[in-house]
Amino acid sequence: MKLYNESDHGTPAKKATSEVKLSVDGRVVSVPAGTSVMRAAAIAGIGVPKLCATESLEAFGSCRMCLVEIEGRNGTPASCTTPAAEGMVVHTQNERLKKLRRGVMELYISDHPLDCLTCSANGDCELQDMAGAVGLREVRYGYDGENHLKAKKDESNPYFTFDPSKCIVCSRCVRACDETQGTLALTIQGRGFGSTVSASQNQSFLESECVSCGACIKACPTATLMEKSVIDIGLPEHSVITTCAYCGVGCTFKAEMRGEEVVRMVPFDDGKANQGHSCVKGRFAWGYTTHKERVLKPMIRAKVTDPWQEVSWERAITHAASEIRRLQEAHGRGAVGGITSSRCTNEETFLVQKLVRAAFGNNNVDTCARVCHSPTGYGLKTTFGTSAGTQDFESVEHADVIMVIGANPTDGHPVFASRMKRRLRAGAKLIVIDPRRIDLVRTPHVEASHHLALQPGTNVAVLTGLAHVIVSEGLANEAFIRERCDFDEYLQWAEFVKRPEYSPEAVEKVSGVPAETLRGAARLYASGGNGAIYYGLGVTEHSQGSTAVMAIANLAMATGNLGRPGVGVNPLRGQNNVQGSCDMGSFPHELVGYRHVSDAAVRAIFDKAWGVKVDPEPGLRISNMIDSALEGSFKGIYIQGEDILQSDPNTKHIAAGLGAMECVIVHDLFLNETASYAHVFLPGSTFLEKDGTFTNAERRIQLVRKVMTPRNGYADWEITQLLSNALGYPMHYAHPSEIMDEIARTTPTFTGVSFDKLDRLGSIQWPCNDRAPEGTPVMHVGSFVRGKGRFVLTEFVPTDEKTGPRFPLLLTTGRILTQYNVGAQTRRTANEVWHPEDRLEIHPFDAEERGVKDGDWVKLASRSGETTLRAQVTDRVAPGVVYTTFHHPSTQANVVTSEYADWATSCPEYKVTAVQVSPTREPAEWQTQYARMSADQRKLAEPSK
């Protein structure tokens, strides 16, 4: 496959109710009203020379290359800023236009270095292209005049260089940062000839507000903004279209390669989720795939205190299989289990749960969604009938009121956040419910109408309070409820929410949200037009996480905000394939497609397909696996792509549980924290090294395509297959497409999915079957999946994690843009420069009271344990609340988090921990112990005999 170059029509497509017909150089073309003449020409097959115009950005009209002549109009208008009109007759090439374009180009080149042959954009430069297109042969001004050739390069950003000597001041970078990304970090400073691109207040890119999304580099037509990897390697020669492996947005990328070397990852313009945009992680932080710490050979050891021994694949697999069988023989079939990955492909995850169910013969399989969105699964299944979000990302463009609850999209889902910000800049209103003042509350041209800065742990009170206002002020959409929900259930629920304990005044006492703010938010959501709710782990990771999800569903149903674009309940799924992992039956109580194991008809399908008898009883969840391990009945585990020791709560408990097991098999890229307790290490493959599919937060299944041979020797699905065969359960898939075919054969929501169709359509949003052969963008149109929507009473039950004199503050946690989850990947890239450590955000009052200054080391202690990290004094958090991220294992944040969890799904209550903060001069004991152990664990044994 050659290098894929999307066509660039110059200006964005316009949606219109009418079309206009015009002629360009004699070719007749019809376009929607409002389309530019340039775009009309491009559609007609004529490329008008251009430099400042590019399809992703609104027309600017500054380069003056695209001049055309229009019959009946004076002069030579710019075709990019001239709308096509009915009956227009356009000429794009004649003597006058040729002379003018050459004249403009002559000016450009009079202030441009002449080092094309050694320039990093050689062969990929629009200025070069245009100079050629207009036939420039001489620059009569000479090269001794005023120029910018001595301007200094800015190489501060680890991933790209800014070389102003090559800048043609087309402002594409500024406009990209404004329109596409929405950060507005760039501007043109000075005026006239002295105009230069400036990052923030004329700072280096690294010091500025730039979030390193790469949009400016993609937009830049010259070498001015260029990836360092291209400068180092040269231009790529072929591209492979694949899906990012970081977050749940699921950006489509072109992996631009030279041979098997990735030159750069460029966001794909036709990507349905990202539309040509990306964030720093997917765009640049893929270096972990070739990091020196990557384990490439299988390793085994008898005891976890032994150093690792490198062995052959055959030896490792045989050993793992025999250990599993031994433990089952000694302790029963249910003594072993598996954990699937939310970052591996659907096909790989399907194989792991199949391995557990068919080869192990039990239902002890779970996934990381346990600790993030399992309440979403429970809550939305109960109320709507589906364990997934109701909309696609495009839906946000039709929203009038956007309510963001317990999510920080500019950090966690940056590319989607940019789309959301664009809609907010265009006039949609914003409500934010979060203890912390996240960036979205006040960001360039965006300001929340209401920020409900509630106390951690009071979500259900606030959400039910919103319902109270909506019902008691008559703002409910009765017509919708009558048609789509059980009306009696609604009446019961309405009576419940109207209780005085859910009045804004009562809720204020419990949550700290001023009554008037609560009222304002409720009224705005209920009557502001299309109301869309986006929520994240700030909703789910609580002892009432499932209740909160149901409360959200209640609000959407009560206001009729479901079943069409612009509304809905949208869980922002965190990881690239956490949605897929849940879809694939990774939960101990569900088979593929969210069907309970107790359903005999469903089991029959799999019994037949797999040739086994699937266990009808629910299996162990991760926390239960740990408990059972300590109890003595759970002995072996196969963990693919998951680091439970770093990401699960109550680290000491997890460590104890792992320590009590006899065979821990870790299948991962790096020696992570869990591997410290492993007996078998199977090196995994990255997303660049395998074929398969990921499913993003929109239920959108997208292809992952292999760009290079797996450095570890096998794709992850091949490894699971090896293990299965070694266990005596045959698996002979030749290609992941066969796995997907099996999924399609056995799952009603997936019947129409195949790799061929994915290739043809680009992506498919499930359900995809006879009723919806090309997939389903918006769900519950007409009726809910379960028939009638269900209103559930959501009583506020405060968490048992209480503050007190010993632990007077509440800790909540979150993510940051540049690091990803436990940082396994991003810590092994240059992203470290932005977030080399986790910091504790603490309010100035609390800090002063404790004698803590910004940057000081503090001890963070809870009933579960303590750790140390450095303080960041800020008023983003309210007094009484502290906040940290969990990207660095050295922080050991989960030593501190409590044992409490969601009542329905056991999703840990990461977001509410009672803590105390005090200045300290040394790391906590656990941290020192841990650092020592981690260092020991990295040692390898002498080569085995």
Partner 1 sequence: MSASAAYDEKLVYMANQIARNFSIHGEEKAVASTLDHIRMFWDPRMRARILDHLRAGGVGLEPTTRRALELLSLAATE
Partner 2 sequence: MKLFVSGDAVARALGADELAAGLASDAASRGFTVVRPGSRGLCSAEPLVEVETAAGRVAYGPVFEEDLASLRPVLFDGGEHPKRLGKLEDHPFLKKQTRLTFERCGLSDPGSLADYRSHGGLVGLAKASEMTPSAIVEFVTQSGLRGRGGAGFPAGIKWKTTLEAPGARKFVVCNADEGDSGTFADRMLMEGDPFLLIEGMLITARAIGAGRGYIYLRSEYPDAIRVLGHALDIARAEKLLGPSFDIELRIGAGSYVCGEETALLESIEGRRGQVRAKPPLPAHHGLFGCPTAVNNVLTLAAVPYILANGAEAYARHGLGRSRGTMPIQLAGNLKNTGLFEAPFGMSLGELVHEIGGGSASGRPIRSVQVGGPLGAYFPPALFDTPFDYEAFSQRGGLIGHGGVVAFDDTVDMLKQARFAMEFCAVESCGKCTPCRIGSVRGVETIDRIAAGDRRNENLTVLTDLCETLKYGSLCALGGFVPYPVMSALEHFKEDFQSPRPAASRAAKRNP
Instruction: Quote the least distance from Cβ 60 to partner 2, whole Å.
Output: 7
Residue in 383, 387, 455, 547 binding partner 1, rule: CB under 8 A: 547
Which one, 306 or 631, has the nearer CB to partner 1? Answer: 631
Instruction: Quote the least distance from Cβ 410 to partner 2, whole Å.
Output: 23
| Residue ranges of E strands in 244-298 | 252-258, 261-267
* Amino acid present at 571: P
SS (H, E, C) 699-748: CEEEEECCCCCCCCCCCHHHHHHHHHHHCCCCCCCCCHHHHHHHHHHHCH
Q: What is the dihedral of CA 272, 278, 281, 287, to 10 degrees?
A: 90
Which one, 588 or 767, has the nearer CB to partner 1? Answer: 588
Encoded tokens for 321: 């299989």
DSSP SS3 for 764: strand
Partner whose footprint covers residue 63, from partner 2, partner 1, none (CB < 5 to 8 Å by kind): partner 2
Site for partner 1 in 41-70 (CB under 8 A): none
- The torsion region of residue 536 among left (phi > 0), alpha (psi -120 to 50) and beta comes to beta
| 86 in Cβ contact with 20 (< 8 Å) | yes
Q: Which residues pair with 385 in a beta bridge?
A: none
DSSP SS3 for 451: strand
848 is a contact residue toward partner 1 (CB under 8 A) = no
Instruction: Quote the least distance from Cβ 597 to partner 1, whole Å.
Output: 9
Partner whose footprint covers residue 918, from partner 2, partner 1, none (CB < 5 to 8 Å by kind): none
588 is a contact residue toward partner 1 (CB under 8 A) = yes
CA distance 557 to 791: 8
Q: Phi/psi at 450 (nearest 5 deg)?
A: -140, 130
Instruction: Quote the least distance from Cβ 271 to partner 2, whole Å.
Output: 29
Which one, 111 or 856, has the nearer CB to partner 2? Answer: 111
Residue 604: in which H helix or E strand, if any?
helix 600-610
CA distance 544 to 547: 5
| 414 in Cβ contact with 725 (< 8 Å) | no
Site for partner 2 in 42-61 (CB under 8 A): 59-61
Contact letters (x/-) for partner 2, 184-213, by CB under 8 A? ---xx-xxxxxx------------------
Instruction: Quote the least distance from Cβ 383 to partner 2, whole Å.
Output: 39
152 is a contact residue toward partner 2 (CB under 8 A) = no
Which one, 631 or 854, has the nearer CB to partner 1? Answer: 631
Which one, 857 or 903, has the nearer CB to partner 1? Answer: 903
Partner whose footprint covers residue 67, from partner 1, partner 2, none (CB < 5 to 8 Å by kind): partner 2
Instruction: Quote the least distance from Cβ 839 to partner 1, whole Å.
Output: 33
Closest to 592 measured CA to CA, from 311, 302, 914, 352: 352
Q: Which residue's entry shows tokens 């990019």?
A: 80
**Span from 70-78, 180-188, 519-527, 790-798 in contact with partner 1 (CB under 8 A):** 790-798
Encoded tokens for 126: 């629009």
Contact letters (x/-) for partner 1, 515-544, by CB under 8 A? ----------------------------xx
Partner whose footprint covers residue 153, from partner 2, partner 1, none (CB < 5 to 8 Å by kind): none
Closest to 824 measured CA to CA, from 368, 485, 468, 506: 368
Instruction: Quote the least distance from Cβ 145 to partner 2, whole Å.
Output: 5
Partner whose footprint covers residue 544, from partner 2, partner 1, none (CB < 5 to 8 Å by kind): partner 1
Residue in 198, 318, 899, 940 binding partner 1, rule: CB under 8 A: 899
143 is a contact residue toward partner 2 (CB under 8 A) = no
Residue in 575, 906, 913, 927 binding partner 1, rule: CB under 8 A: 906
Which one, 271 or 619, has the nearer CB to partner 1? Answer: 619
328 is a contact residue toward partner 1 (CB under 8 A) = no
Partner whose footprint covers residue 145, from partner 1, partner 2, none (CB < 5 to 8 Å by kind): partner 2
| End-to-end Cα, the chain, rounded Å | 45
The count of chain residues that interact with partner 2, using the rule CB under 8 A, is 39
DSSP code per residue over 341-396: -SSS-HHHHHHHHHIIIIII-S--EEEGGGGTTHHHHHHHHHHTS-SS-SS-GGGG
620 is a contact residue toward partner 1 (CB under 8 A) = yes
Encoded tokens for 418: 């940019």
333 is a contact residue toward partner 1 (CB under 8 A) = no
- The torsion region of residue 458 among left (phi > 0), alpha (psi -120 to 50) and beta comes to alpha
The count of chain residues that interact with partner 1, using the rule CB under 8 A, is 31
Which one, 143 or 845, has the nearer CB to partner 2? Answer: 143
**Span from 75-83, 439-447, 501-509, 857-865 in contact with partner 2 (CB under 8 A):** 75-83
Q: Are β-strands 680-683 and 299-300 bridged in parallel, bridged antiparallel, or unpaired?
A: antiparallel
* Amino acid present at 654: I
Q: Which residues pair with 813 in a beta bridge?
A: 884
| 55 in Cβ contact with 122 (< 8 Å) | no
Q: Give the strands of the sheet with 692-695, arranged side by side.
A: 692-695, 700-704, 763-765
Residue in 183, 208, 364, 576 binding partner 1, rule: CB under 8 A: 364
CA distance 687 to 285: 13
Instruction: Quote the least distance from Cβ 899 to partner 1, whole Å.
Output: 8
| 546 in Cβ contact with 375 (< 8 Å) | yes
Site for partner 2 in 80-139 (CB under 8 A): 80-83, 96, 99-100, 103-104, 107-108, 110-111
Residue 241: in which H helix or E strand, if any?
strand 238-243
| 169 in Cβ contact with 193 (< 8 Å) | no
Q: Which residue's entry shows tokens 């990921």?
A: 694
Helix axes 651-659, 622-631, angle to 10 degrees: 50
HSE-up of residue 930 (Cα within 13 Å, Cβ side): 25
Q: What is the dihedral of CA 407, 412, 413, 419, to 10 degrees?
A: 70
Instruction: Quote the least distance from Cβ 502 to partner 1, whole Å.
Output: 12
Instruction: Quote the least distance from Cβ 484 to partner 1, whole Å.
Output: 22
633 is a contact residue toward partner 1 (CB under 8 A) = yes
Which one, 866 or 909, has the nearer CB to partner 1? Answer: 909
Partner whose footprint covers residue 190, from partner 1, partner 2, none (CB < 5 to 8 Å by kind): partner 2
CA distance 247 to 826: 12
Which one, 340 or 530, has the nearer CB to partner 1? Answer: 340
627 is a contact residue toward partner 1 (CB under 8 A) = yes
CA distance 925 to 940: 26
Partner whose footprint covers residue 619, from partner 1, partner 2, none (CB < 5 to 8 Å by kind): partner 1
496 is a contact residue toward partner 1 (CB under 8 A) = yes
Partner whose footprint covers residue 8, from partner 1, partner 2, none (CB < 5 to 8 Å by kind): none
Q: Phi/psi at 405 (nearest 5 deg)?
A: -120, 125
Residue in 1, 15, 28, 146 binding partner 2, rule: CB under 8 A: 146
Site for partner 2 in 167-186 (CB under 8 A): 168-169, 171
208 is a contact residue toward partner 1 (CB under 8 A) = no
62 is a contact residue toward partner 2 (CB under 8 A) = yes
618 is a contact residue toward partner 1 (CB under 8 A) = yes
Task: Identify the burial level of 564 via C-beta atoms within 10 angstroms of its C-beta, where 0-12 means exposed, 13-18 middle and 19 or more buried.
Answer: middle
Instruction: Quote the least distance from Cβ 784 to partner 1, whole Å.
Output: 20
Task: Identify the burial level of 562 via C-beta atoms within 10 angstroms of its C-beta, where 0-12 means exposed, 13-18 middle and 19 or more buried.
Answer: buried
Q: Residues interacting with partner 2, by CB under 8 A?
A: 59-65, 67, 75-76, 78, 80-83, 96, 99-100, 103-104, 107-108, 110-111, 140-141, 145-146, 168-169, 171, 187-188, 190-195
Binding site for partner 1 (CB under 8 A): 334, 363-364, 496, 543-544, 547, 588-589, 596, 598, 617-621, 624, 627-628, 630-631, 633, 793-795, 797, 899, 903-906
